[in-house]
Amino acid sequence: MDADKLRTQQELERLQAKYVGTGHPDTTSWEWRTNVARDTYSSIVGHPPHLSYISLAQNEPAAKVRAQLLRKMIQPCGPPPPREGEEPVLQQRPT
């Protein structure tokens, strides 16, 4: 029984080290949401039929939707929350 738990824990740690998006015990909710959003956007951009569906639903050209999704990947969940002892980062609006 204990050997199974140990093996499961080791496998989880191995996967977390191999794949960044799987997180680790110190992963914040902001980091987790950012990884999920980036994975989603990259999946949509990487699958032309899915991109076509989204562009049709938005009534926009596929190239424009692709560019919007790529821009969203920079900070999909907004700026990171301030750490303890730091000042909050102010998000600048595009000019």
Cα separation of 91 and 88, whole Å?
9
- Give 44's contacts (C-beta < 8 A, 6+ positions apart): 50, 51, 54, 69
Domain ranges, residue 65: 47-76
Whether residue 58 lies inside any domain: the answer is yes
Q: Which tokens is 18 given?
A: 């191999």
Rounded distance between C-alpha atoms, residue 78 and residue 52, angstroms: 26
Flag whether 8 is in a domain: no
- Residue 20 — φ and ψ, nearest 5°? -60, -40
Give the pLDDT of residue 55: 97
Q: Is the pLDDT of residue 95 over 60?
A: no
- Judged against a pLDDT cut of 60, whether residue 61 lies above it is answered with yes
72 assigned to some structural domain: yes
Q: What is the pTM of this model?
A: 0.69
Question: What domain count does the chain have?
Answer: 1
Q: What is the pLDDT of residue 92?
A: 62
Residue 53 lies in a domain: yes
User: How far is 87 from 84, CA to CA, in rounded Å?
Assistant: 9
Mean pLDDT of the chain: 86
Asked if residue 18 is part of any domain, the answer here is: no
